[in-house]
Amino acid sequence: MQVGIMLSCIMLFLNRDEEQRRLDRLVGAGTGGLAVLYGRRRVGKTRLLVEWTRRHGGVYSVADQSTPAIQLRYLAEAMVAVFPGFAAVVYPDWSVLLRAVARAAKAESWRGPLVLDELPYLVAASPELPSLLQRWIDHEAADAGLVVAVAGSSQRMMQGLVLDANAPLFGRAREVLKIEPLDIGFLKAGLRLRDAVDMVRHHACWGGIPRYWELAGERAGTLERLVDELVLDPLGPLHREPDRLLFQEIPSAAEVRPLLDAIGAGAHRVSEIAGRLQRSATSLARPLARLVELGLARREVPFGQDPKATKRALYKIDDPFSRLWFRVVAPQRSALATANRAARLALFRRAWSGLVAADWEEVVRRRLATGPLPARLANFGPTLAVGRWWSGARPEWDVVAEDVQGRVLVGEVKWSERPFSATAVTAEARRLAQRELPDLPGRVDAAEVQRCLFVPEVAKGVRRQQGEVVVVTAAELLGV
């Protein structure tokens, strides 16, 4: 299954064209400069940076949680790739080492790129480093025309080092790139899947995280078998993945784990989460903000509501893999420790319908937000805003979207493991046509609102236009 790994890596770089273009532009300018990359762990930052440095004859160095002396030695040894003998000298501190790099680069007309990955680890061991980097980038590195990139997975520390107005490196970066999960559109080729419905199923398990795609691509078998071997089995490489991610954060994010347990078990309002944890709701503001900052949860408000003003917010686990883990693994760790495969899969199947249905909804909303849209929705878009809408006892809407022209699309998202029959589609479309509309932005005329029914698949011969309701399948939505 080595081919699976290779395909996943190829798809990773096909999906990083814009990031590569911007990084290449920094190298091509010939005047040097700083690039900053950040994003959650496992999202592919390292692979992108390694590929970039390889193509340009640069140096890639990744930090670990070691002492300053060892970290200095590791970077000096990495520089030997372009400056033979560079590591023969013992560098007593970061100031001396960085000046030596700039002198050697200027003497050899080497412009980089020089990548310092996992910068938060370096800073944790040497708190003076951000100020030293600031002066070095402003003076010695600029004089040498060096292209320097720093990266990190600890979004809190990267924010404090680079993105906040008071951060030491604020305003120095010519490129600031947040690396996001891969789009579902790359899953078919990345895992050699058969169709769009399979893409949705796999996305509900692995999300857009390249590392999980690679692990799945190494193995043969059904999706259930892959989930069992990688996630459910206590010996699987992802069986304790969320715990590892939380402990690797700087500072450790282990304190937010109980909130994820509560949200994964179905508590979405702050009051519900507080009740599960037997804590006051006011004490959760900071840990909930940390969850959102880490990209593990999102704060959802009804479409059209001001996120800062409304109190009707819900908290959802944002990553599909984490949703699966906290829905199936976390509450069943003891049972999974001794269960056989049949018992483990029974637990998974019990939760599967809800997991894939929830992710299918999010896939629809994300595709409406980013495009491209199906041809039969050509009169709608580009999308200005998209979300879900609810209000008390009124009917909920899975999708409400507004485009730049003020046109509105509302929709219902349904999931089934089997293709929807003509009878089922007609019944769903009739209910959708009669449903009370949500509160719409501006002065939108109800007659101009496009109603859509999103389903994974329909049986042969089913009409895609049911009165005023457009029926959109996964294949149409994902363009496969």
Q: State the Cα–Cα distance between residues 413 and 388, nearest whole angstrom.
A: 11
Residue 317 DSSP SS3: strand
pLDDT in tens, 46-66: 999 999 999 999 999 999 889
Q: Domain 371-478: which topology? A: Trna Endonuclease; Chain: A, domain 1 (3.40.1350)
CATH superfamily of 17-178: P-loop containing nucleotide triphosphate hydrolases (3.40.50.300)
Range 221-360 classified under CATH 3.40.440.10: no
* Residue 202 confidence (pLDDT): 98
| Two structure tokens written together for 393 | 């006892």
List the Cα angle 36/38/40 in 5-degree steps.
Answer: 175
* Residue 41 confidence (pLDDT): 86
Residues of the chain with CATH 1.10.10.10: 221-360
* Residue 169 confidence (pLDDT): 84
* Residue 205 confidence (pLDDT): 98
| DSSP secondary structure string for all residues of 90-148 | PP-SHHHHHHHHHHHHHHHT----EEEESHHHHHHH-TTHHHHHHHHHHTHHHHHT-EE
Residues of the chain with CATH 3.40.1350: 371-478
Using an 8 Å Cβ cutoff, are 362 and 354 in contact?
A: no
List the Cα angle 375/376/382 in 5-degree steps.
Answer: 65
Q: Residue 286 CB: number of other CB atoms within 10 A?
A: 10
* Residue 295 confidence (pLDDT): 81
Average pLDDT per run of 10 along the chain, which is 480 residues long? 35 70 93 92 91 96 93 97 96 97 97 94 92 94 96 78 80 90 92 95 96 94 97 97 85 87 95 96 92 88 89 93 97 96 97 97 96 88 93 95 92 97 96 92 73 97 93 96
Q: State the Cα–Cα distance between residues 33 and 45, nearest whole angstrom.
A: 19
| Two structure tokens written together for 57 | 């004859």
* Residue 294 confidence (pLDDT): 81
* Residue 15 confidence (pLDDT): 67
* Residue 12 confidence (pLDDT): 45
* Residue 6 confidence (pLDDT): 34
* Residue 443 confidence (pLDDT): 60
Q: State the Cα–Cα distance between residues 116 and 310, nearest whole angstrom.
A: 41
Residues of the chain with CATH 3.40.50.300: 17-178
Nearest to 440 by CA among 471, 409, 404: 409
Q: State the Cα–Cα distance between residues 37 and 52, nearest whole angstrom.
A: 13
List the Cα angle 243/249/252 in 5-degree steps.
Answer: 75
Longest dimension (CA), the chain: 78
pLDDT in tens, 194-220: 899 999 999 999 999 999 999 999 999
Radius of gyration of the chain (CA): 25
Q: State the Cα–Cα distance between residues 413 and 65, nearest whole angstrom.
A: 45
Q: State the Cα–Cα distance between residues 144 and 103, nearest whole angstrom.
A: 7
Using an 8 Å Cβ cutoff, are 299 and 307 in contact?
A: yes
CA 464 to each of CA 45, 392, 447: distance values in angstroms, whole numbers, following the listed order:
41, 32, 20
Nearest to 72 by CA among 22, 107, 29, 122: 122
Using an 8 Å Cβ cutoff, are 218 and 5 in contact?
A: yes
Q: State the Cα–Cα distance between residues 480 and 475, nearest whole angstrom.
A: 5
Give the DSSP H/E element, type plus range, for residue 28.
helix 17-28
Q: Residue 244 CB: number of other CB atoms within 10 A?
A: 11
| Two structure tokens written together for 174 | 């010519």
